[in-house]
Amino acid sequence: MKQCSFYTTVTLSDFEDVQYINQLIKLNIGLELALLTKLSNNLNLAQYERDLDALKKEITAFKSYFSQFNIPLENIRVHQPGGYTYDWSHETEKSGFDFLKEFFSYCYDLGFRNFVIHAPYGNSLVNSLEELNDYREKLSTLLPDDARLEVEEISVSHNDLENTNIRVYKGDLLEKLIKDQKAKILLDTYECGGIKETMGRLKELKSKGFEIKSIHLHKDKHKFLTSDEVGLLLQSNFSGNLINEGFLQDESSFDEFVKTKSINCVMPNNQRIEILKKYIEQISN
Q: What is the band of 274 on the pLDDT scale with cuts at 50, 70, 90?
A: very high
Residues 6+ apart with CB under 8 A from 103: 52, 55, 56, 59, 81
Maximum alpha-carbon separation in the chain: 54
Q: Any idea which of 8-17, 170-179, 252-261 has the lowest mean pLDDT? A: 252-261
Q: What pLDDT is stored for residue 85 in this prediction?
A: 64
Residues 6+ apart with CB under 8 A from 113: 73, 74, 146, 147, 148
Q: By residue range, what is the domain housing residue 158?
A: 5-284
- The mean of the pLDDT values for the chain is 89
How far are the Cα atoms of 91, 191, 200, 238 from residue 10, in angstroms, in the given order?
Answer: 34, 20, 29, 24
Tens digit of each residue's pLDDT (9 = 90 or more) over 145-196: 999 999 999 998 877 766 678 888 999 999 999 999 999 999 999 999 999 9
- Contact, 209 vs 178, CB < 8 A? no
- Residue 79, classed as helix, strand or coil, is strand
How many structural domains is the chain composed of? 1
Q: What pLDDT is stored for residue 112 in this prediction?
A: 97
- Contact, 249 vs 277, CB < 8 A? no
Tens digit of each residue's pLDDT (9 = 90 or more) over 232-253: 999 998 989 999 998 876 655 6
What is the pTM assigned to this prediction? 0.92
Amino acid letter, 282: Q
**What's 135's domain CATH number?**
3.20.20.150
